[in-house]
Chains A and B, each alone.
Chain A
Amino acid sequence: MGIEIEHPTVVLSKVAVSKTHGEESPYFAGWKAYDKDPYDEFCNPSGIIQMGLAENQVSIDLLEEYLEKHAEATDNGIRTSEFRENALFQDYHGLQSFRNALAGFMEQIRGGRAKFNPDRIVITAGATAANELLTFILADPGDALLIPTPYYPGSEHRAGPLRQSNDFDITPEALEAAYREAESKNIKVRGMLITNPSNPLGITIKRSTLEDILDFVTRKNIHLVSDEIFSGSAFSSEDFVSVAEIVEARNYEDSERVHIVYSLSKDLGLPGFRVGAIYSYNDKVVTTARRMSSFTLISSQTQHLLALMLSDKSFTGNYIKTNRRRLKKRYQMIVDGLKKVGIKCLKGNAGLFCWVNMSSFLEEPTKEQELALWKLIVHEVKLNISPGSSCHCSEPGWFRVCFANMSEETLEVALRRMHAFMKRRY
C-alpha cells in the first residue's frame, strides 16, 4: 500500500457533528469570554466575574468540617479492610448503603413529607446522565417532550422539539395549547419535563400547579419527569412541594408515569463527584434504567464516601438548614443591591440564581437588543450573566444571575460594578 493523500477530517456520525450539544449558544459563549479573562481578587481584579455558573459554594465549609472529623469516609475502606470489596463493586444496583442514605436525605429535604424506597433509586453519573437515560427510555427518536420555558439550556441535547408554556406560570390552558400544537405538526408527545425548583426562574412550583400537571399528564397518558435537583436549595423547607408528595397523597394512583431526577451537584455542591439518581414509581422504568446505568455508574469510591456522610442525620439536618439560610441571605443581598439601581427581580424562593428583569433598559423589546445589552454587560461591566434567550424565554430582557458560586466579597464587587454601570448609562 502506498502513502495515501491526507484527508482533511475523518468522517463522523450525524450525532457527532450536529449542533444539538448546544454548546454554541450564548450561554457557553459567555463562559468562553470568562475563561479568557477570569476575575481573581488579587491577580485579576478587573477580570470578568462568573455569574453564569449555577454552582453552590456557600456551604462547602460544612462538608470540609465533616471530612476532617470523619477520616473513615475518605480512607477508601483501608481501616476496615473494605477497600477491595469497594474497588470491585460495579453492580449497577449501586451500594445498598448509599441508596439507603440517599433516600433518607431526599426525605429529609422534603421535611419527611414524602417517602423514598431505596430500591427504586437508580444511580447515574450526575443528573445530566439521569435525564438522558429517561429520554432514551420514555421516548423514541422524533418524539417530543413538553418543557415549560424558560428552561436550562443544557436540555437542548436531550429533548425533541420543544413547546412553550405561558412564561413563569404553568397553566392548564398553556399545557393544552402546547400539546395541540405538537399534535398539529404530527409530533408524538411522550411526556413532560419540569424542573422544580425552576432553573432559571428560582421559584418553586405551587402545589395546585403540580396537581394540574399531574392531571394533564394522566389525561394525555404521558410521562412526567420532575427534575428536583434544586430541592435542597429552596430557601425554606415548606416552600418546596415535591411531585412525590402529590403522588403519595393520591395513594400512588397513576404513579407509573412519574419519575424524579436528583443529584448532589447543587444541594451539596459536589458536581465533580458525579452523583445523580433516577427515582421512578414504574418498575419497568427502574429495571431498564438500571441496565442502562451501566454506561454511567457512580464511582464506588464516591458512593462509599457519601453513604457515610448522608447517613449521618445530625450532619445532614444541620447542613440542609444552614444551606437554606445562607442561600436566602445571598439572594436577599443581590435582590436588594439591584433594587437600589432600579433593577427588579422575579420574587424567587429557591435556587442558586435570581431571574432579573432588565426589559425596561432595552432600546426595543427584541432578542437582538437583549443580546446587545448582554454583550455590554459581559464586556463592559465584566459580569458573565445568562441572557433569557439562551433559556428560550419568550419575553426579551430577562437575565439569570447566579449568586452562590462566589464569595460574598466578590458578589459585592459585582453589585458595585452594576451600580456604576447603571449610573453611567441610565
Chain B
Amino acid sequence: MLSRKATCKSHGEDSSYFLGWQEYEKNPYDPVRNPSGIIQLGLAENQLSFDLLESWIARNQEPTGFMKKEGSIFRELALFQDYRGMPVFKKELAEYMAAIRQDKVRFDPNNIVLTAGATSANEALMFCLAEAGEAFLVPTPYYPGFDRDLKWRTGVEIVPIQSSSMNNFRIFPSALEEAYQHAQKLHLKVKGLFITNPSNPLGTTLSIHELDHLINFAIDKNIHIVSDEIYSGTVFDSPRFISIMEAVKKKNLENTAIWSRVHIVSSLSKDFGLPGFRIGMIYSNSKTLIAAATKMSSFGLVSSQSQFLLSRILGDKKFTRNYIMENRNRLKSRRKTLVSGLNKNGIRCLENNAGLFCWIDMRCLLTSYTFAELGLWRRIIFKYGLNMSPGSSFHCPEPGWFRVCFSNMSEETLDLAVRRIKALMDSSAPNAC
C-alpha cells in the first residue's frame, strides 16, 4: 500500500544512536524527580549560553513582538514567503559566517539558500548533486543522521573513508583513494566528498594538510566537496578553524572549476543552541546550484518570524561578538571538566578543539568485560545510567570508542555523570585501562 521508501529501514532510526535516546526517554534523569535516571550524554546540544540570548531578548522585546520603530511589521512577515529568503537576514548571516571564520573568507548573501535546518540542507544538496544510486565518500566516524539525511529519500549511497585511532582518525590520501576504488568495485559512481568540519563525533577541526588532500582529490576525480560546517561556531581552542572555502582560496583556485564544486552547509542550531527554530543554509559559488537549491527549498523554508528575530540578533554586532567569545570560553571550560574527570579515572579522550562532545577511548573495557561494544553500551546505560553514543553507530572502524556530549546539561549533572563513570571504572578489572 505504501511506497518502497516508506517501508524500508533507511530512515535509520533503528541505530543504537537513536535507541539510546529512547532508553533515556523512558527513564530520564532529573535531580529532584528521578535522581537515579539515565543521564543524557548522547545529545549534541548547546545549552551553555542561553542566558546571553535571554537577556538580549528581554532587552529587545520589540523584534520579538513584531514591532520596529516604524510600526508593526507583522503583516509584512506574515506574507513573506519568498524562497530567496529575507535579504536583511541573509546579509547578517553572511557577515556572521565570515566573523566565525576570522574574516578569512567573505560570503555573498546571494549565494546563500535558507533551509529548515542543516538536515534539510544536506538532503537538498544530495538531490541536486547526485542521482539515486550514485555515491558520496564520507570519512568515518560520521554522524548517524547522515544515513537518513543523505540516503533515505535521495537513494544516494554513502561509501565510508576509513580512518584509524593510530593517527587520531585523520584523513589520508591513501584512504581517499581506497574508498574511491571500493566504490568502483561496487559499481557506484562517486559524485563527491562529504566532510564534517569540525567533525562530529571527533570534535576536531581539519588541518590545512587534510583540506589540501581533499581538494586535490576532488580536482583529480572531478567531483564535489560538501563541507558540513555546522560546528564552526563551537571552535573553542587552537588550532583555528579553516573553512573549505579558505583552503581553496589559499591554493589560488578561485577562478577554477573546483571553486564551483565546493559547497558549505551550516545552521544556527549548534552555535546558538536554537535547533527548534530550524535555521539552516547552503552556501555555494555555483549559481546553477544556488538556483536549483533555492527552488527545492520550497519544501523546507525558514519561518519568516524566525528569520526576522535572528536578523536582529545577528545585526547586533557587539552582542554577537561577545556571544561568540563567551560561548567558546564556556565550551572550553566544560570540556575541561569532563576530560579531567575522565582522565582521573583512567579514560583517555581524543584531543579536540571544537564541538559539543568528546570522543573517548573505552577499548580497555572491551577487553576486561569481553563484551562487544554494544554489550558495553547497554551495560553503561542500564547499570550506570549513562546514555553515551557507541562508536559503531558512527560507523567507527574500531570498536570501543564512544561520543560523550558535555554541553546539554548543568555542571552538577555533568559532575554526577563523571562520578558514575568512576563507578564503572572502579568495578572493572584493575589496570585494565
Contact = CB atoms under 8 A, between A and B. Distances in A.
Nearest to A129: B299
A29 interface: no
Interface residues of A, number: 72
B256 interface: yes
B288 A297 contact: no
B5 interface: yes
B219 A4 contact: yes
A226 B381 CA distance: 45
Contacts of A86: 276
Contact of A291 (B11, B45, B274): B11
B81 A272 contact: yes
B131 A13 contact: yes
Contacts of B350: none
A132 B295 CA distance: 14
A202 to B, nearest CB: 21
Interface stretch (A41-49, A87-95, A374-382): A87-95
Interface stretch (A164-172, A299-307, A414-422): A299-307
B303 A288 contact: no
B216 interface: yes
Q: How large is the interface on B (under 10, 10 to 19, 20 to 34, 35 or more residues)?
A: 35 or more
B97 to A, nearest CB: 20
B6 A136 contact: yes
B248 to A, nearest CB: 12
B4 A140 contact: yes
A138 B129 contact: no
Interface in B260-277: 260-261, 269, 273-277
A13 B129 CA distance: 5
Interface stretch (A60-68, A227-235, A313-321, A348-356): A60-68
Among B58, B256, B278, B279, find the residue whose CB has the most chain A CB atoms closer than 10 A.
Answer: B278
Contacts of A87: 50, 53, 273-277
A71 B276 contact: no
Contact of B306 (A60, A78, A302): A302
B325 interface: no
Contacts of B47: 84, 88
A17 B6 CA distance: 26
B79 A55 contact: yes
A3 B256 contact: yes
B278 A298 contact: yes
B292 A16 contact: yes
B2 interface: yes
Interface string A265-295: 1000111111000000000110010011011
Nearest to A7: B257
B57 A136 contact: no
Among B3, B47, B295, B302, find the residue whose CB has the most chain A CB atoms closer than 10 A.
Answer: B3
Interface of A: 1, 3-7, 9-10, 12-17, 21, 23, 55, 57, 60, 63-64, 67, 71, 74-76, 78, 83-84, 86-90, 125-126, 128-129, 132, 136-140, 143, 190, 221, 223, 256-257, 265, 269-274, 284-285, 288, 291-292, 294-302, 305
7 contacts: A6-B255, A74-B66, A83-B50, A87-B274, A87-B276, A88-B47, A298-B278
Interface of B: 1-6, 11, 13, 45, 47, 50, 53-54, 57-58, 61, 64-66, 72, 74-75, 77-81, 116-117, 119-120, 123, 127-131, 148-149, 152-153, 216, 219-220, 224, 252-253, 255-258, 260-261, 269, 273-279, 286, 288-289, 292-293, 295-296, 298-306, 309
